[in-house]
Amino acid sequence: MSTDANRPEPSRPTPASGQRRLPIIDAVRAAALLAMASYHTLWDLGYLRLTAENYALTPAGHRAAEAIAGTFLTLVGVGLVLMNGHGVRVRPTLTRLARIGGAALLVTAGTWLAFPDAYVFFGILHCIAVASVLGLPFLFLPLPVTMLAAAAIFAAPLWLHAPVLDAPILFFLGLGTGTPRTNDYVPLFPWFGFVLTGIFVGRLGLPRLRRSSLGAWAPRTTLGRAATFAGRHSLVVYLVHQPVLLGLLTGLVTLTGPNPHAGLRAFRADYVRICTRTGGELPLCRIAARCTSEALLKEDLFREDGRPFSAPERLRAQALSQGCYGAIEAASRAPR
């Protein structure tokens, strides 16, 4: 999400075939920003219990998040070609790196304060900062070398694991046997592979793009100009959009209250897990979980918002649970 990845240096003349900014690239980056903001809205709705569950954490939500991150990182590779494809421009490169690195530290500090048990220590901005340095040599290596390196980095997490790589200081590699608890985790393996893919695509495709009608496109509508503006300032948009979304949705949940069914699926899954662990039969546990959750909802005893039970409420909730399972077990054993 580099904001100056293809901005020409003002003090240097722009080569005819080189560093001219391409509005279409900014527009594509803006589309990725919109997808990212949509995903974060979905996450915020679930986090604030405005939806029945956090759909961003479902398998489909995870796939969407991965696709969005992969798109951004591929665009980072394309941007590196646009900025440095004719030779590394030291001052703009260092300025850009300082901006992204500083923003990454800001994200770490902010999430440590807001989510201390799951703060972001190596998210997408951290990955972009490191990958922007590691990717520079590949701007000038033969294209097959870049593509082979990308393939190796994509494949590494599938076969390379070692307990020593579970050390917290090595979490940024992504080659440990577990996944650390964090709200945004974009380790170098496999994600640096997307940056190398973007470098490959940029070196191969940008000359053709510049000669095409798509490369000559310029925004003429308000929507087009807004999109290219957002694409040019994607780092600022990234930093600002989530606090704004959380603020607006927090205000909404204050007015409306949480969704009464928020956490229901997780409650039923936990119920079934505990029920089977203590000797219950799986089919009966599933029916009892639904029965219990519906009974708790009916008596306003369903607690997924952190409110503590009073002693009488706790006894009543336990009685409802035991009553559900007992009635279902008795019915299952009754002669037909």
Q: Is 146 in contact with 199 (CB distance < 8 Å)?
A: yes
Q: Residue 180 — left, alpha, or beta (φ > 0 → left; ψ -120 to 50 → alpha)?
A: beta
User: Quick one: pLDDT at residue 2?
Assistant: 43
> If you search the block for the tokens 């972009």, which residue do you land on?
128
Exposed / middle / buried, residue 253 (Cβ in 10 Å: 0-12, 13-18, 19+): middle
Residue 276, C-beta contacts closer than 8 angstroms, at least 6 positions apart: 282, 285
What's the mean pLDDT in 153-160? Answer: 93
> If you search the block for the tokens 């902010």, which residue do you land on?
110
What is the distance between the alpha carbons of residues 44 and 61, in angstroms, rounded to a whole number?
A: 13
Residue 184, C-beta contacts closer than 8 angstroms, at least 6 positions apart: 107, 111, 120, 123, 124
User: Quick one: pLDDT at residue 270?
Assistant: 85
106-135 b/e (C-beta count within 10 Å ≥ 16 → b): ebbeebeeeeeeebbbbbbbbbbbbbbeeb
User: Quick one: pLDDT at residue 15?
Assistant: 39
Q: Residue 133 corresponds to which tokens in the numbers above?
A: 């340095």
Higher pLDDT, 190 or 178: 190
Q: Is 206 in contact with 85 (CB distance < 8 Å)?
A: yes
What's the mean pLDDT in 275-291? Answer: 85
Is the confidence at residue 301, as pLDDT, over 80? no
Q: Is 298 in contact with 260 (CB distance < 8 Å)?
A: no
What is the distance between the alpha carbons of residues 229 and 210, in angstroms, rounded to a whole number?
A: 20
Is the confidence at residue 53, as pLDDT, over 80? yes
3-state DSSP assignment of residue 215:
coil
Residue 93 sits at the vertex; the CA angle it makes with 89 and 98, to the nearest 5 degrees, is: 155
pTM: 0.81
Higher pLDDT, 335 or 130: 130
DSSP 179: -
Q: Is 8 in contact with 83 (CB distance < 8 Å)?
A: no
> If you search the block for the tokens 């030291």, which residue do you land on?
90
User: Quick one: pLDDT at residue 309?
Assistant: 67
Q: pLDDT confidence of 7, banded at 50, 70, 90?
A: very low
Least confident of 28-32, 135-139, 282-286: 282-286
User: Quick one: pLDDT at residue 289?
Assistant: 84
User: Quick one: pLDDT at residue 178?
Assistant: 84
209-229 b/e (C-beta count within 10 Å ≥ 16 → b): beeeeebeeebeeeebeebbe
User: Quick one: pLDDT at residue 19?
Assistant: 54
Least confident of 166-180, 238-252, 277-291: 277-291
Q: pLDDT confidence of 90, banded at 50, 70, 90?
A: very high
Least confident of 35-44, 106-115, 151-160, 326-335: 326-335
